[in-house]
Structure 1
Amino acid sequence: MRRTVDYFFATMSPWAYLGHERFVRIAHAANAEVRVRPMDLGKIFPLSGGLPLGKRAPQRQAYRLVELRRWSEWLGLPLNLHPKHFPVGGDPSARLISVVAERDGAEAALRLSGAVLSAVWARELDIADADTLAVLLKEGGLDAARLAQSQADEGQALADAHTQAAIDAGVFGAPAYVIDGELFWGQDRLDFVERRLQA
Structure 2
Amino acid sequence: MSQVCQYFFSAQSPWAYLGHERLVAMAREHGVRIELKPCDLSNVFGVSGGLPLAKRAPQRQAYRLVELARWSEFLGIPLKTQPQFFPVSPELANRMVIAARQVYGDDAALTLAGAFMRALWAEDRDIADEATLVLVAGACNLDGAALVAAAQTASVLAEYDNNTAEANAASVFGSPWYVLDGEHFWGQDRLDFLERAMQK
What TM-score, normalized by structure 1, do the two folds share? 0.97
* Correspondence for 2:168: 167
| Distance in 1, Cα, partners of 2:183 & 2:109 | 23
**Superimposed CA distance per residue, residues 17-49 of structure 1 (whole angstroms, 9 cap, x where no aligned partner):** 100011111111111011111111110111111
| Distance in 2, Cα, partners of 1:126 & 1:14 | 14
Within 5 Å, which residues of 2 pair with 1:27-176? 27-144=27-144, 145-176=146-177
* Correspondence for 1:193: 194
The alpha carbon displacement at 1:103 in A equals 1.8
The alpha carbon displacement at 1:196 in A equals 0.4
Q: Secondary structure at the match of 1:8?
A: strand
| Distance in 2, Cα, partners of 1:158 & 1:142 | 20
**Superimposed CA distance per residue, residues 37-87 of structure 1 (whole angstroms, 9 cap, x where no aligned partner):** 111111011111100000111111111000000000000111111101000
* Correspondence for 1:18: 18
| Distance in 2, Cα, partners of 1:54 & 1:106 | 33
Contact 1:99/1:158 (CA < 8 Å) preserved in 2? no
The alpha carbon displacement at 1:152 in A equals 2.9
CA RMSD of aligned residues (A): 1.0
**Superimposed CA distance per residue, residues 114-138 of structure 1 (whole angstroms, 9 cap, x where no aligned partner):** 0000011001111111101111111
Q: Secondary structure at the match of 1:125?
A: coil
| Distance in 1, Cα, partners of 2:169 & 2:106 | 21
Q: Secondary structure at the match of 2:179?
A: strand
**Superimposed CA distance per residue, residues 66-113 of structure 1 (whole angstroms, 9 cap, x where no aligned partner):** 000000000011111110100000100011001111221110010000
% identical aligned pairs: 50
**Superimposed CA distance per residue, residues 125-155 of structure 1 (whole angstroms, 9 cap, x where no aligned partner):** 1111110111111111113312111123333
One-letter code aligned to 2:141: G
Contact 1:169/1:181 (CA < 8 Å) preserved in 2? no
* Correspondence for 1:178: 179
| Distance in 1, Cα, partners of 2:179 & 2:35 | 10
| Distance in 2, Cα, partners of 1:171 & 1:192 | 17
| Distance in 1, Cα, partners of 2:133 & 2:66 | 30
Runs of 4+ in 1 over 4 A off after TM superposition: none
Contact 1:175/1:185 (CA < 8 Å) preserved in 2? yes
Contact 2:134/2:143 (CA < 8 Å) preserved in 1? no
| Distance in 1, Cα, partners of 2:164 & 2:105 | 19
One-letter code aligned to 1:59: Q
Aligned residue-pair number: 199
